[in-house]
Amino acid sequence: MADNSRFDHDLVLAHKFPETTFTYTERDAAVYALGVGACGRNAIDSDELKYVYHENGQQFVQVLPTFAALFSLGSLTNGSIDLPGLQYDPRLLLHGQQYIQIYKPFPSSASLINKVSLAGLHDKGLYSLAENLLIEQRTGDYVFISSKAAILELETKSYEKQSGELLCMNRSTIYLRGAGGFSNSSHPYSYSNYPVNQAAAPKIPKSQPFAALLYRLSGDYNPLHSDPMIAEVAGFSRPILHGLCSLGFAVRAVIKCICRGDANIIKTISGRFLLHVYPGETLITEMWLEGSRVIYQAKVKERNRAVLSGFVDLHHVTPSL
C-alpha cells in the first residue's frame, strides 16, 4: 500500500495524461446494445431493433448514448489508474458515479481522440463505506466496512479524429479503497474543477446470468465482473454486474418510455452507483419528468434495494408528454 505521508498533491494535479485513441465499428455498437439488454424482451422491438440491425433500409445502426461511457476506459491501465504517488489495490477499486454530456449523435463507426484530465481528488480518510456501499456477504447480511479511501474524478473529452469535432464528455468518479489518509484529518484535501450543479416506472427485463460476461466484450475487462476469487477479495459473494451496464439498462428504459424511442434528444446523463447488482437479478427503473429533466432510480426487485439513481437531461420534451 502507499506511503501516503509522502503523497504530493501538486504532483498529481500537474500530471498530464497521454491522449488515447478509441476506434469502434457497427459491430461494437451492436454488441454493446445487446449487452445492455436491447431487444432482450422482443427480438423485433420497434424502438430498439435500430441499435442492432439496419431496420427499414436504414444505412447504419444507431448508437445508444450510453455507449459513450466506453470511451473513458482508455484512462485505465489493466483495470487501474496510473497517477504519480497514488498507490492502491486495484482489486478494491469501485465505480461511484458517471456523468456524460453529449454534443452530437454518435456515428455508427468512428476513430476518436480522447483527452483525459483530472477533474477532482478528495481524501476521505478513515470513513465508513456504509455511506454509499453496502457489501453483501455470503450469509446475505449487510456489513459496514471502515477503511481509508480516496475519490478520484477523471474527465474524458472525445473528439472525432477525422473532423476534430467534440462528440461527448465523460466524468468518471472512482472510489479507491485503501488510498486515503494522505492529508490533515481536520482539513481533508479536496479538489474539483467543475461546476457543483453537475454532481450527480416500467420493469426492465431480468438481466441474464451471463450479462457481465457479455458486457465485458465491450472493453471493460475488470476481473471483478468475471473472476470469483477477485470478487471475494473485494467483498462480494460472486462477480457483480458492471455499474455502467446497469446504467445502460436504466437509460434504455428512459429512451423507450420518455423519449418515445428517440435517443437523439438526450443531452446529458448522470448516474450514481448506490449498490452492486448480481447478473441475473431484475432491474426496475422508476422515472419522473421535471421540465426537460428525467429523474430516475433503478432497484433490484429480488432484494428491493435501490442500486442506481440519477438524471437524464433532454434537448426537448415530446409534446404528448
Catalytic residue numbers, as ranges: 220, 225, 240, 243
In terms of Cβ atoms closer than 10 Å to its own Cβ (0-12, 13-18, 19+), residue 232 is middle
Angle, CA 283 vertex, CA 320 and CA 228 arms, to 5°: 150
What's the CA angle centered on 273, arms 269 and 104, to 5 degrees? Answer: 15
